[in-house]
Amino acid sequence: MYGPRAPFCDLPGLRGRLAAANETTLRPLGLGGLLLGPGVLARVPDVVAEFAHGEVAVLADRRPMAAVAGEVKATVTNALNAAGMAVRRVTLGDELARSHADARTLDRAVAETAGASVVVSVGSGTVVDIGKALSARLDGVPHVAVQTAASVSGYADDRSVLLVDGVKRTTATRWPERLLIDSDVIARAPVELNRAGLGDLLATYTAPADWLLARFVGQDDNYSPFAVALSRAHVDCVLDRAEAIHRGDPDALENLTASLTLGGIAMGVAGDTAPGSGMEHNVGHLLEMAERPGAPAPLHGAKVGALSVLAAMLWARVRVVARGGGLRSLRFPSAAEMEPRVRTAFVPLDSSGRMGQECWRAYSRKLECWHEARAELATLWERWPAFDEQLEGILASPERLVEALRAARAPVRLAQLGVRDTTARWALMNGHLMRERFTVADLAYFMGIWDAPDVDGLLIAAARLGAGL
């Protein structure tokens, strides 16, 4: 029996711990039920029957997924039919199983699921994100999520990553009524999906530091020690057995799945993805926005893993410079200076300017908050040592992250994911310009150590670890 199973599946126990945390910013745990283990797929009809009083809409893409016997979506559909339920299949994406959570896809899915009594999403991250968004758009129609890979942490929360004017935005949607995870299905998923889950998990070593930093500089007062502790509860155990993920070891995969789901729950109760999303996700989303239509798309978590190494390296650089007095003369660029820079940064992706406008809308709020805190920021250098001490319990060394990725045979360099040098440098340089969240890249920029030569210097240092480009 592996470590996290008991607390992982005990949602009443988690709710009790949540109440005992006594943190006013935390939200109730809205996930209605959770099943993890072998044979869970057979429980789908009984779970769906709790909500079905008419047609059941089964939402899935065209990607074949292996069950113990047969294909997962066919198994679910046949079982629901055998239980006497009327099933409406709603297929997402193109013939190559590529699907995007954009406005067009959502509008079509809403039209095709309208009138169903329950939505059953069967698939990995994007499919479940669309399922959560549909549940919200259809006035709270019940949603049962059937997870088919341990690829990301976002299955168990009430957020979806959606495309808004071409920009990836984490958007409030709705908790699933039930989350079902059959470990037999997880074990049969392509190994690169589960490796991507490990990559996504590495963000829990960098993103919480970004969140704590945001509180330290007056950008975000909602930092939650409970949510951070929950997201990190068993991550060290996963890294210790990273090689077993490569081998498809059932216990290691169940441990990975449990840790990712606890991370999703942490984001849900925090009301924010900050426990597991910081600089590494900003840059990863930019890389995804820059992908050429029709080209093979690297897995989100795989990018996050490689980028978490670079985020950890930037944190190490910032800490060294801060200890040496680098916080005494911070930048306070004006909106007149930054607006054209933000808009220009995104012209290569969208010459219409809509993407630049969306990014400036978010970044301008961050910049305004930075200026409003100027008086307090003047003493940042004096308060840094106490903050720096707190980072010791959050950050991991870049070497530790590289070791785990290599043990799992996961990508360590962006070139392994088909990312071009120029695109990687552009995304690293501009990742902090796309959204409101304050990260280590923002602080590095305001310290004057995150310009083009600094990006190149970080990549040179990363190359010595076999990471980066």
pLDDT tens-digit map of 130-147: 999 999 999 999 999 999
Query: For the segment 33-91, what is each residue's pLDDT rounded down to a tens digit?
Result: 999 999 999 999 999 999 999 999 999 988 888 888 899 999 999 999 999 999 999 88
Please state the pTM of the whole predicted model: 0.91
Are 198 and 402 in contact by the 8 Å Cβ rule? The answer is: no
Q: What are the residues whose beta carbons fall under 8 Å from the beta carbon of 306, sequence distance 6 or more?
A: 199, 405, 411, 412, 413, 414, 416, 417, 467, 468
Helix H or strand E segment including 13: helix 11-21
3-state secondary structure (DSSP) of residue 73: helix
What is the chain's Cα-based Rg? 22
Nearest of 357, 325, 323 to residue 433 by alpha carbon:
357
Q: What pLDDT does 95 receive?
A: 63
Per-residue HEC secondary structure of 324-376 comes to CCCCCCCCCCCHHHHHHHHHHHCCCCCCCCHHHHHHHHHHHHHHHHHHHCHHH
Q: Give strand ranges (E) for 137-222.
A: 143-147, 159-164, 167-172, 178-182
Q: How many angstroms separate the CA atoms of 367 and 404, rounded?
A: 36
Range name among 165-174, 209-218, 300-309 with the lowest pLDDT average: 165-174
Domain covering 204-223+274-464, topology: Dehydroquinate synthase-like, alpha domain (1.20.1090)
5-189 and 204-223+274-464: identical CATH topology: no
> Would you say residue 99 has pLDDT above 90?
no
- Strand 33-37 versus strand 56-60 pairing type: unpaired
The encoded tokens of residue 402 equal 């590289």
The fraction of the chain above a pLDDT of 70, given in percent, is 94
Q: What pLDDT does 169 receive?
A: 75
Per-residue HEC secondary structure of 184-195 comes to HHHHHCCHHHHH
Sheet holding 178-182, edge to edge: 33-37, 178-182, 143-147, 118-123, 56-60, 87-91
Q: Given 3.40.50.300, 3.40.50.1970, 3.30.9.10, 3.40.50.1000, which CATH number is that of 5-189?
A: 3.40.50.1970
Each domain of the chain, given as residue ranges in start order, spans 5-189, 204-223+274-464
Side chain identity at 129, as an amino acid letter?
Answer: D
Q: How many angstroms separate the CA atoms of 27 and 266, rounded?
A: 10
Side chain identity at 321, as an amino acid letter?
Answer: V
